[in-house]
Structure 1
Amino acid sequence: MTKSVFIIGAVLGMLVGCATPGEQTTAAGGYPEWFLNPSNVYPQERYMSAVGSGRDRRDAEQQALAALSQAFEVEIRVDETTRERYRELMTDSGTMTESEIDLTQVRDVRSAQTLLNVQFGDAFMAPDNRVHIVAYLERMATGRLYVDLINRNEAQVSDYLAEANGSQDPLRRYAFLSAAEAVAANNEMLRDQLRIISQPMSATLPSGNSRSAIVSRRTDAAESLPVAIRVTGDAENRILPILRRAVAAERFPITDSAAVLTVEGAFEIEPIDLNPDFESVAWAFSATFGRSGGTSLLSYSDQGRASGITVERATALAYEDMAVSVEQGFARDLRRFLNELVLGSN
């Protein structure tokens, strides 16, 4: 059955005699006032609200939350990797709690209720047995929450920049600048969301640290840390390009000489007896990230098995699994290592 979602329209001024939000005020025909005339109950200058409809109350709530989430479709986007890094930095340092982070991260419908500080009015069942419900938030209360989070983020960015300025180690300096960019990126998104919630409150905030300036400094810091990548066992050159991309994602330049940092990778694939109906191979991947000259900073390893109708197919699947290991596992551990450089200084 098609789900209906109705976005609450804006009104120009406060209406006299409005019903109290959340009340099941009945209008003509037995329908609640908030369903027939939502702006009478939830004036736009005080509330953000939306009505959702579904098979049951839970379904209707999800649709109402989805509608509210659409109001936060801002121009500024933060990729999932940066979101997760922001979460780790802020929670592991004790600057914010997990629930406070959730307040500002819209990823799906279920996260919207926490994000938006949402309340629900009473549910209403229409003659067609469809359930309708209104979800709403108070602009001022939610705006104050955002202002607090934004100010705390700005303070954290300033602390990271100060640490970067005082660091004599180029890798530590890069780590602090990278952390500052992650927090600044999320704060930029929060500022954009606050403009939607309350333009007057947004206008009172100082401009804060420039993300573009931080990005420029991070790029300059990375340029002083060229990385040499050497691998064994990748005869078909399938994994090396993926490993290069994982390192380059941190903006480190790749070099064949005069390296400051190194990545030593090893890939192995060998046939095994696993299932008589299929051909199977075992694979293993390991990588060491360190300083040129032999100091190891990070070690990563992963292994698995793959099966196919032919050895060639099993091998192809093994390479796919190893590619995921590099793109997700090794890259994730490299980011965590950088986070540890930052958090370990606290």
Structure 2
Amino acid sequence: MSNRSEHKHYLLIFFILMLIISLISGCATSSSPSQGGKAPLWVGDKDAVYPPDEFLAEVGEGDSLKGAKSNAAGAIAQIFRTRVKVDSEIRTRYSDITGQDGEILGMVTQTDFDQKIGQSSDQSLSNLKYGESWTDEMGRVYAVAYLDRAETGNLYRSRIMDNDERVAELLGRARSQEEPLRRYAFLDAAHVYAEANQMLLEQLEIINMPMARSIMAPYDLGDLRASKADQAASLKVRVEVSGDPEGRIEAVLSDWVTGKGFSVSEGGDLFLTAVVSISPVELNNDYENLSWELNINLMDTSGYPAVSLPRQSRSSGISASAAESRAYNDMAEMIQKDFNKEFMAYLTSFLEK
């Protein structure tokens, strides 16, 4: 290769490298907030840049760009939090049925009661976008977050319509069931979808009121609630517990039954049984120790096993009575949490068939 050709070759490489560096620098600059100078119009008057009839926008500020964005998203989330009531039980049940972890439909405002709004709002507010950002002379960062009302409204409307179809399908399957508990399972699922849709509709009213008013559900939510309640009341459960001389576990199981809207009856078609066993155990500590075992079984109206839950553990206390009291408290908590979870999983299993 001649010296001239070699020189041109190196110049070409040099120019390519400079172009790559320039592009990288440009990208880094565009992702950073503009600094100093006169504040952009949106900082003091967001409506002038993001017209309220087209956007739901909020400005946030913080010590960093991440903090400013989080506060902007949190401000939007707060609008939903104050105006839309999210039923935590429906939300959990919906996640169980759909497999969409944590968020109803994957597009509902984060309103976890144990978290600060804004911590993860950008991940849970569907279609949330960020506009410009700016840093003042004191280093304070400002950012704007917004929802496009038309675009986001269409997402909500589409999901609401899909859910309405699911409700109609589940109601049809409920009517075709002969076994009462299975009929209840489909009514329960239809009710969950309908309640989730009601929450979505309330949010859509905030995002795009005309679009929300144009949606007509093919069912009456009040009638659906009543149908589920009537079916639950028709389910009569016989409760029998052995090894429970004071009736403590029987009382807890009976409360669970009535809490579901079912009826406790000696002539019940559903059969809920439990066997309790408590015995002292020697451990290397300064407490009285007990070993306990609880086996719960629920049979459907045809006599087939529906839910089975065996559990065993230990409890300790400063006296035998204290250890026993703790054992019963642990068993009661297990019934309300673990057994109830297994029962709801049993109901959900019918939806997959």
Match of 2:111 in 1: 107
* Local SS of the residue matching 1:205: coil
CA distance in 1, matches of 2:63, 2:146: 20
Deviations 1:83-112 (A, max 9, x none): 222223234xxxx79888221253333453
Q: How does 1:253-268 map to 2 (within 5 A)?
A: 253-256=263-266, 258-268=267-277
Match of 2:224 in 1: 214
Q: Which runs of 5+ in 2 are unaligned?
A: 1-30
Deviations 1:272-309 (A, max 9, x none): 23342333322222210113574322101222223333
Q: Residues 223 and 100 from structure 1, CA distance in 2 versus in 1: closer, same or farther, beyond 3 angstroms?
A: closer
- The alpha carbon displacement at 1:221 in A equals 1.6
- The answer to whether the Cα contact below 8 Å between 2:35 and 2:136 also exists between their aligned partners in 1 is no
Residue 287 (structure 2) pairs with residue 278 (structure 1): yes
State which of 54, 59, 64 in structure 2 corresponds to 1:51: 59
Q: Residues 231 and 105 from structure 1, CA distance in 2 versus in 1: closer, same or farther, beyond 3 angstroms?
A: farther
- The alpha carbon displacement at 1:158 in A equals 0.1
2:230 aligned partner, one-letter code: D
Match of 2:129 in 1: 119
- The answer to whether the Cα contact below 8 Å between 1:74 and 1:193 also exists between their aligned partners in 2 is no
Q: Residues 183 and 134 from structure 1, CA distance in 2 versus in 1: closer, same or farther, beyond 3 angstroms?
A: same
Select between 165-174 and 119-128 the one with higher mean Cα deviation: 119-128
- The answer to whether the Cα contact below 8 Å between 1:281 and 1:306 also exists between their aligned partners in 2 is yes
- The answer to whether the Cα contact below 8 Å between 2:62 and 2:141 also exists between their aligned partners in 1 is yes
CA distance in 2, matches of 1:181, 1:60: 39
* Local SS of the residue matching 1:269: strand
CA distance in 2, matches of 1:255, 1:42: 62
CA distance in 1, matches of 2:83, 2:132: 33
2:333 aligned partner, one-letter code: V
2:43 aligned partner, one-letter code: F
Q: Residues 97 and 265 from structure 1, CA distance in 2 versus in 1: closer, same or farther, beyond 3 angstroms?
A: closer
Q: Which runs of 5+ in 1 are unaligned?
A: 1-21
Select between 119-128 and 42-51 the one with higher mean Cα deviation: 119-128
- Give aligned pairs, total: 317
Select between 121-130 and 325-334 the one with higher mean Cα deviation: 121-130
- The answer to whether the Cα contact below 8 Å between 1:24 and 1:32 also exists between their aligned partners in 2 is no
- The answer to whether the Cα contact below 8 Å between 2:35 and 2:135 also exists between their aligned partners in 1 is no
- The alpha carbon displacement at 1:82 in A equals 1.9
Identity rate of aligned residues, in percent? 31
* Local SS of the residue matching 1:70: helix
- The answer to whether the Cα contact below 8 Å between 1:26 and 1:33 also exists between their aligned partners in 2 is no
* Local SS of the residue matching 1:116: coil
Q: Residues 104 and 338 from structure 1, CA distance in 2 versus in 1: closer, same or farther, beyond 3 angstroms?
A: same
- The answer to whether the Cα contact below 8 Å between 2:186 and 2:351 also exists between their aligned partners in 1 is yes
Q: Residues 90 and 105 from structure 1, CA distance in 2 versus in 1: closer, same or farther, beyond 3 angstroms?
A: farther
- The answer to whether the Cα contact below 8 Å between 2:106 and 2:126 also exists between their aligned partners in 1 is no
- The answer to whether the Cα contact below 8 Å between 1:172 and 1:342 also exists between their aligned partners in 2 is no
- The alpha carbon displacement at 1:122 in A equals 4.2
State which of 22, 42, 55 in structure 2 corresponds to 1:34: 42
Q: Residues 74 and 169 from structure 1, CA distance in 2 versus in 1: closer, same or farther, beyond 3 angstroms?
A: farther
CA distance in 1, matches of 2:186, 2:282: 48
State the structure with more CA Rg. Answer: 2
Residue 337 (structure 2) pairs with residue 323 (structure 1): no
- Output the aligned Cα RMSD: 2.7
- The answer to whether the Cα contact below 8 Å between 2:34 and 2:133 also exists between their aligned partners in 1 is no
Q: How does 1:305-344 map to 2 (within 5 A)?
A: 305-344=314-353
Residue 95 (structure 2) pairs with residue 87 (structure 1): yes
